[in-house]
Amino acid sequence: MSKADLESVRVPASRLRMSGRWLELSVPRVMGILNVTPDSFSDGGLLSAGGASQFKVSLDKALFAVQSMVSAGADIIDVGGESTRPGAPEVSENQELERVIPVVTAIRANFDVLISVDTSTPSVITASAIAGADMINDVRALQRPGALEAAAATDLAVCLMHMQGEPQFMQQAPSYSDVLIDVSSFLSVRKSICELAGIHPDRICLDPGFGFGKTLAHNYQLLSRLHDMHALGSPLLIGLSRKSMIGAVLGAPAADRLAGSLAGAVLAAAAGAQIIRVHDVEPTVHALQVLSALRNAGQDR
């Protein structure tokens, strides 16, 4: 993909089909993060049942967290059973299934909310569809063997994310000729491959992968040029919440990055990002409501 291609058409996509349901994207949608892991960078272990040496998910804690996010205005709940923080080890297929599927099943039984599953594992993709998920959010863009075929066999939406390398090594000297063009070219190719495999374009959204194989400068270059990525023709899902690109600017640990995360969410949405993935749902919803009010005021003149 050339610079001219990116500068040609930059109109945000208007909706996304998720397991037979349409998510309208005329206003930014909030995706609440539900990590059912012991080692995620910001909230690992918070949903542990406790009392055992091996991490086990508490369904009661998970459902309480979902209730809180839904009440705060979350449109989508993103369930993840494998940490993808820099340096994170891989988990086994069985571990991921045991963490994720009971939670997806319980959410679907108790809430009318869209469910995303943050996974790259084919068996988890298949089991998530059966359990009632609506979307697969894959940091590896369906590149694991069998993942593309598993996703194509469902009716789930898919989010294809860019990551240079794997989580264990992705922050070891990442480099690009032009980060926007390189990331956009990768996502364009992956989108085409998905379409050839039978995944309709209206089921695809894209994520440039802030913090995944990118330096601080790369991340802010992407954010400053985010609007150009609408030339790819798919909704954009953006995750900046509590990430190191926020912490590096603020000089703050993950727990103290709310203000910077809100700024990032508003900047991304102002550039046309349609789905904002966050840890702190209520303040993000409020911040985006202010942005929407500003946009509506401009339309009323």
The whole-chain average pLDDT of the chain stands at: 90
Number of other residues whose CB lies within 10 A of the CB of residue 259: 12
pLDDT of 7 reads 60
Helix axes 59-72, 93-110, angle to 10 degrees: 50
Parallel, antiparallel, or unpaired: how do β-strands 135-138 and 157-161 relate? parallel
Distances (CA, A) of 118 to 79, 101, 178: 6, 12, 28
Closest CA to 245 of 267, 261, 266, 262: 261
Q: What's the average model confidence in pLDDT over 99-126?
A: 97
Tens-place pLDDT, residues 54-84: 557 789 889 999 999 999 999 999 999 988 7
Whole-model pTM? 0.90
Closest CA to 166 of 183, 141, 189: 141
pLDDT of 51 reads 43
- How many whole angstroms separate alpha carbon 115 and alpha carbon 23? 12
Structure confidence at residue 41 as a pLDDT band (50, 70, 90): very low
Residue 254 predicted with pLDDT over 50: yes
Structure confidence at residue 88 as a pLDDT band (50, 70, 90): low
Residue 121 predicted with pLDDT over 90: yes
Residue 269 predicted with pLDDT over 70: yes
Residue given tokens 């990768």 in the structure block = 186
What is the DSSP annotation of the chain?
--HHHHTT--PPP-EEEETTEEEE-SS-EEEEEEE--S--TTTTTTTB--SSSS--B-HHHHHHHHHHHHHHT-SEEEEESS--STTPPP--HHHHHHHHHHHHHHHHHH--SEEEEE---HHHHHHHHHHT--EEEETTTT-STTHHHHHHTS--EEEEE--SS-TTTTTSS---SSHHHHHHHHHHHHHHHHHHTT--GGGEEEE--TTSS--HHHHHHHHHTGGGGGGG-S-BEEE-TT-HHHHHHHT--GGG-HHHHHHHHHHHHHTT--EEEES-HHHHHHHHHHHHHHHHHHHH-
DSSP-assigned beta bridge partners for residue 80 = 35, 118
Total domains present in the chain: 1
- How many whole angstroms separate alpha carbon 246 and alpha carbon 2? 29
What letters, b where the CB count within 10 A reaches 16 and e where it falls short, cover 65-75? bbeebbebbbb
pLDDT of 15 reads 94
pLDDT of 167 reads 65
| Lowest-confidence region among 23-37, 55-69, 164-178, 195-209 | 164-178
Tens-place pLDDT, residues 183-217: 999 999 999 999 999 999 999 999 999 999 999 99
pLDDT of 230 reads 95
pLDDT of 6 reads 61
Please give the share of the chain, as a percent, with pLDDT higher than 90.
75
Domain that holds residue 174: 3-300
| Lowest-confidence region among 5-9, 29-33, 130-134, 165-169 | 5-9
Question: Annotated active-site positions, please?
Answer: 243, 277
Q: What CATH number corresponds to the domain at position 224?
A: 3.20.20.20
pLDDT of 8 reads 59
Q: Taking a C-beta distance cutoff of 8 angstroms, is the pair 116, 31 a contact? A: yes
Residue 127 predicted with pLDDT over 70: yes
- Which comes out higher in pLDDT, residue 25 or 13? 25
| Lowest-confidence region among 55-69, 81-95, 98-112 | 81-95
Q: Taking a C-beta distance cutoff of 8 angstroms, is the pair 61, 51 a contact? A: no
Closest CA to 265 of 86, 77, 28: 28
Residue 243 predicted with pLDDT over 80: yes
